[in-house]
Structure 1
Amino acid sequence: MSTAESPIRIVTAVILDPQQRVLVVRKHGSDTFIQPGGKREPGEDALQTLGRELHEELGVQIDSSKAVALGSFEDAAVNEPGRRVQGESFLVSINGNPQVQAEIAELAWIPLQPPHGVKLAPLSALHVLPAARAALAASGNAH
């Protein structure tokens, strides 16, 4: 399998506010919102990656003890045409107030249920957010 065919592997976070809205971010040069997160560094596990990425991108810390695995999903990558992205996703709690930092141009709190009101990456819209809704419904936290 060549590099062009292998998916971009990332770890993504679903972060909810008290109103059950979900945090999404838009990188500089993109018009599409995605889940916060990023690519693993060598030797990191998924939650270490999320902790590092969320600190770099948003200035927050995650509470790893409360993270809920939502699954691993694959779809078209929005920022690299012709590539696929494979995201391992977690529902996480954070400490701190998210701020735009690093490569992030904008953040938005959107409804967990469609319509989301922003242009959302296929990975988020078709896989991650439905998995988050299902997990919340199963745990009795859905509104």
Structure 2
Amino acid sequence: MSSAGLIRTVAAVIRDPAGRVLLVRKRGSTTFIQPGGKTEPGESALQTLARELEEELGVVLRVDSAHRLGEFEADAVNEPGRRVRTEAYAVEVDGHPQVRAEIEELAWVVPQAPFPVKVAPLSAGHVLPALRRAMAAGELA
């Protein structure tokens, strides 16, 4: 697939004190994904995350906490026949995440299968394993 056919996003991995990660389910979907979204023209990855996290969850990104986990690609769960490529960051936020905008449900899950909810292949197969690798390497507290 050409890069023009890709859906490009930025994703946040937000952990709670118990080590669980926040996943979100958009209205009309049955699958949980990392919070985040598509970059607007002229935005950096972290500017996108800050905007999306405020819009979708009502939290403020601590930009200095961002740790890049990598860039990953998989089949898109909300747009059949398309692929999504995300740049993922482990981040900290100020505030308590709440359902807003197109988000219908939040789930705090242990970042390893089996998951208690249906998790997108991009998260389950790429983003969450990258988080576990970063934690095992001592890159994250």
Would you say same fold, with TM above 0.5? yes
Matches within 5 A, 1:81-96: 81-96=80-95
Question: Which residue is 1:31 aligned to?
Answer: 30
Q: Tell me, yes or no, if structure 1 residue 115 matches structure 2 residue 114.
A: yes
Matches within 5 A, 1:2-21: 6-21=5-20
SS in 1 for 2:51: helix
Distance 1:69 1:124 in 2: 15
Matches within 5 A, 1:20-99: 20-99=19-98
SS in 1 for 2:115: coil
Aligned residue pairs: how many?
Answer: 141
Distance 2:139 2:74 in 1: 28
Unaligned runs of 5+ in 1: none
Whichever structure has more strand as a proportion of its residues is 2
SS in 2 for 1:63: strand
Matches within 5 A, 1:127-142: 127-139=126-138
Per-residue deviation at 1:2? 6.8
CA RMSD of aligned residues (A): 1.6
Give % identity. Answer: 63
Per-residue deviation at 1:141? 5.1
Distance 2:38 2:140 in 1: 29
Distance 2:112 2:18 in 1: 12
Distance 1:40 1:86 in 2: 12
Distance 1:106 1:63 in 2: 23
Distance 2:112 2:75 in 1: 21
Distance 2:112 2:140 in 1: 14
Per-residue deviation at 1:114? 1.3
Distance 1:63 1:106 in 2: 23
Distance 1:71 1:141 in 2: 14
Unaligned runs of 5+ in 2: none
